[in-house]
Structure 1
Amino acid sequence: MNSVIAFIIIFGALVFFHELGHFVFAKRAGILCREFAIGMGPKVLAFKRNETQYTLRLLPIGGYVRMAGEDAELLELKPGFRAGLILDQDEKVQKVILNNKDRYPDLRVVEVAEADVEKDLYIKGYEEGEEILQTFKLSETTVFVEDGVETQVAPYNRQFNSKKLHQRFLTIFAGPAMNFVLAFIVLTILGMAAGIPADRAVLGDVVPGDPAAEAGLEKGDEVVSISGEEISTWNELTSIVSRSPGEEITLDVRRGEESLSFNVVPEERTIEQGEETTSQGIIGVYNPLIESPNIFQSIKYGAEQTYAYTVLIFDLLGQLITGQFSIDALAGPVGIYKSTEEVAALGIYQLMQWGAILSINLGIMNLLPLPALDGGRLLFFGFEALRGKPIDRQKEGMVHFVGFALLMLLMIVVTWNDIQRYFL
């Protein structure tokens, strides 16, 4: 149960911050956001505030912000249609009732002669029993009601495609960007709470039963040289140990006022990098921590770790593209859940770090210039900037549709691999 809760919290945070980026910049640009959704599929929970409906959906496979104008607007009134109008005190149309008009008293039923619900916002028509053509003005908050469901009109100036190129670019880019921001915040908090690794050749925790502990090394020992080679940093210590698997090395340490020497044989561990395997030595020690670091040290640590994980993920992505990394090693929702389960057992700090890594990974994946992803949409904005005009929307929509279908196929393959790996 704890694993399920951990997965839901991490997934929810990643998707929430991603969609929050889209949402905030869309609102800043004046775009009407019809829905802010976490999850996909049937609604589990929904409420409406102002002009946006906030929903929690059943399937934990993503989320979205539904912005007016991204898809074709379905609100229209054709000539001859009979619509019921509810007017406000300023004689502007507050609601347009499309069916079940008998449920609403005091309606003004109009036979539509002409209507514009995107630009000039009006309805022209004849009231029952009248022969005089009347014009009824709509406001930007007028809602259409069909089968009890209310849909707010979306004037063209509030639609996504009406906005300037830089506004649309920022609205889409803000989603992945917020995943990097989330990772930075989590890693900064982690540094403040758990401490920051120090680059000193001083032993932190020593793992019981591993070579260092068996040789007699203790937490707090300061390593001054290894096999006659003087060192002063943690990176120097790990570099020598790493390249000495199975070979006896001598660590000269300072313990308080004492100078001691210990012979240690680093244990050999095999590391898989794509299709290649390499061996490295480990002795079972952790580097020391700066406990209770100040805010500036924590911010620096958060930024450095965010950058380091970003570079690492890009490196793995490069290996995947060049064939050094097999697609069978990719993990889908099932694999991520199993990994989260394993990390959750290690403690809250490790879980926070894992969440930050997943957030960076989500940000990078969404920035890839692939159809149906944020990066694919940004690529089309780039073409628009070069051409001076947008790509035909139908053609762009078809590209994204094909891309989405291929991504779903990849998701099915990866999920099947996860099921075989963990359950079959």
Structure 2
Amino acid sequence: MNNAPGLLLTILAFLAVIGPLVFVHELGHYLVGRWYGVKAETFSIGFGREIFGVTDRRGTRWKFGWLPLGGYVRFAGDMNPASQPDPAWMMLPAEERNRTFQAKPVWQRALVVAAGPVTNFLFAILIIAGFNLIQGQPSAAPIAGKIMPGSVAEQAGFAYGDVFRRVDGRAIGSFRDLTTYVRSHPGAPIDVAVQRGDREIAIRVTPRPVPALDEQGKPIKMGVLGIEGQLEPIGPITALRLGTEQSWRIVTMMADGLGQILTGSRSAKELGGPLSIARFSGEAASAGPGTFAYFVALISINLGFINLLPVPMLDGGHLLFYALEAVRRKPVAPQVQEWAFRSGLLLLLGLMLFATFNDLSAFGLWRGLSGLIG
């Protein structure tokens, strides 16, 4: 039976992921800019020709563009990608000029720019914290919680509430002790003693080997039974702490993955683009609201991480120039910034084309075309 999502669901799920996350990102820029008295001229979700829009009483045009792959906030005085004002800027009345982006000190401009990625991280933390608050956190007690349907644990006869006592004769003091032992024995039979009610039961089971990576990023096999520990309720503060810790782990994994690709230890073919996001959006939506919400959090972290990379045209590129301006006590020459941002645009377009090529390869398009040609 094919559970792949249809094209319509995939498109709608993709829009439901990208649209809100772009809005959250740009809202961070907008709110901090407004906090510091900068006038926002345009708040756009999507690029290209306007499909629909309204102008508020502050003169900000809120609109939707026809290409839903990003968005932007254009502040007064922010006339080009390098954030350099045009010559007419100096001719503005003092009061109006003070409401432009370029009139603000470098630290305020940096905070406005950083607010977008930071808002994406905060949004993801709130989503993950919500999961933690609803579901609770794993208990350290060596007690079986959920038994995954179709797993080797279900086939071997484990049941909810089983208390793990020993594995291959070794005492089990926590659920982590069990998972650590199981992971190191992929495909090897193990003997597990569990307490069920007033009886102790011996169960022989063979952990299913699954692909994984070790601490050095090398492929290995890891044993899995298909048993989850029990969950215990937590409060909002603990949920936020866990959400922050889990989000940070995702960021470090992304940084490690990018580093491995740059050093050649991982293939650049793993880079995906909008088509991959669309496909995974559809799959997450078809898996249920919980999976879809977690996927939104993951993409939100990804969006924040990518935007902080020190690449011109991204928020991280702007922050790099602001850091140089703070150290030099004067802005980098406009010609240098213009050259850098043009180069950054070419780099991003090249990466987008490369990622799209990878996406089409993953979909089997090139194999199909070669078959037709052959």
TM normalised by structure 2 equals: 0.88
The aligned runs of 1:224-239 (5 Å cut-off) are 224-239=165-180
Find out whether 1:37 has 2:11 as its counterpart: no
Select the structure that is richer in helix.
2
Please give the alpha-carbon distance, in whole angstroms, between the structure 1 residues aligned to 2:199 and 2:235: 32
What displacement does 1:56 show?
Answer: 1.1
Give the 3-state SS of the residue equivalent to 1:340 in structure 2. Answer: helix
Q: Which one-letter code corresponds to 1:345 in the other structure?
A: S
User: In the alignment, what sits opposite 2:31?
Assistant: 24
User: In the alignment, what sits opposite 1:83?
Assistant: none
Query: In the alignment, is the contact (CA less than 8 A) between 1:194 and 1:349 conserved in 2?
Result: no
Find out whether 1:294 has 2:268 as its counterpart: no
What displacement does 1:327 show?
Answer: 1.2
User: In the alignment, what sits opposite 2:78?
Assistant: 70
What displacement does 1:306 show?
Answer: 1.4
Distance 1:61 1:188, change over 3 A: same
Find out whether 1:325 has 2:332 as its counterpart: no
Please give the alpha-carbon distance, in whole angstroms, between the structure 1 residues aligned to 2:43 and 2:237: 35
Question: Structure 2, unaligned stretches of length 5 or more?
Answer: 1-7, 366-374
Of stretches 254-263 and 241-250 in structure 1, the one that deviates more from structure 2 is 254-263
Distance 1:60 1:234, change over 3 A: farther
Query: In the alignment, is the contact (CA less than 8 A) between 1:334 and 1:418 conserved in 2?
Result: yes
The aligned runs of 1:39-54 (5 Å cut-off) are 39-49=46-56, 50-54=58-62
Query: In the alignment, is the contact (CA less than 8 A) between 2:13 and 2:278 conserved in 1?
Result: no
Q: Percent identity?
A: 33
What displacement does 1:46 show?
Answer: 0.4
User: In the alignment, what sits opposite 1:119?
Assistant: 93
The aligned runs of 1:74-93 (5 Å cut-off) are none
State which of 297, 303, 318 in structure 2 corresponds to 1:362.
Answer: 303
Could you report, residue by residue, the CA deviation over 1:301-357 in whole angstroms, capped at 9, with x for unpaired residues?
Answer: 222221221222222122122212211111100001111222222211111111111
Query: In the alignment, is the contact (CA less than 8 A) between 2:10 and 2:281 conserved in 1?
Result: yes
Measured on the aligned residues, the alpha-carbon RMSD in Å equals 2.1
Find out whether 1:413 has 2:354 as its counterpart: yes
What displacement does 1:73 show?
Answer: 5.6
Please give the alpha-carbon distance, in whole angstroms, between the structure 1 residues aligned to 2:180 and 2:27: 42
Q: Which structure is larger by alpha-carbon Rg, 1 or 2?
A: 1
The total of aligned residue pairs comes to 352
State which of 177, 198, 223 in structure 2 corresponds to 1:281.
Answer: 223
The aligned runs of 1:149-188 (5 Å cut-off) are 155-188=96-129
Could you report, residue by residue, the CA deviation over 1:172-198 in whole angstroms, capped at 9, with x for unpaired residues?
Answer: 111110011001111111222333333
Please give the alpha-carbon distance, in whole angstroms, between the structure 1 residues aligned to 2:117 and 2:341: 18
What displacement does 1:385 show?
Answer: 1.3
Please give the alpha-carbon distance, in whole angstroms, between the structure 1 residues aligned to 2:105 and 2:221: 54
Could you report, residue by residue, the CA deviation over 1:90-147 in whole angstroms, capped at 9, with x for unpaired residues?
Answer: xxxxxxxxxxxxxxxxxxxxxxxxx974135xxxxxxxxxxxxxxxxxxx6xxxxxxx
User: In the alignment, what sits opposite 1:13?
Assistant: 20
User: In the alignment, what sits opposite 2:65?
Assistant: 57
Q: Which one-letter code corresponds to 2:204 in the other structure?
A: N
Distance 1:345 1:194, change over 3 A: farther
Give the 3-state SS of the residue equivalent to 2:98 in structure 1. Answer: helix
Of stretches 263-272 and 236-245 in structure 1, the one that deviates more from structure 2 is 263-272
Give the 3-state SS of the residue equivalent to 2:144 in structure 1. Answer: coil
Please give the alpha-carbon distance, in whole angstroms, between the structure 2 residues aligned to 1:420 and 1:303: 35
What displacement does 1:393 show?
Answer: 2.2
Of stretches 264-273 and 67-76 in structure 1, the one that deviates more from structure 2 is 67-76
What displacement does 1:272 show?
Answer: 5.9
Please give the alpha-carbon distance, in whole angstroms, between the structure 2 residues aligned to 1:241 and 1:116: 69
Question: Structure 1, unaligned stretches of length 5 or more?
Answer: 77-114, 121-139, 141-154
Give the 3-state SS of the residue equivalent to 1:158 in structure 2. Answer: coil
Select the structure that is richer in strand.
1
What displacement does 1:58 show?
Answer: 1.4
User: In the alignment, what sits opposite 2:313?
Assistant: 372
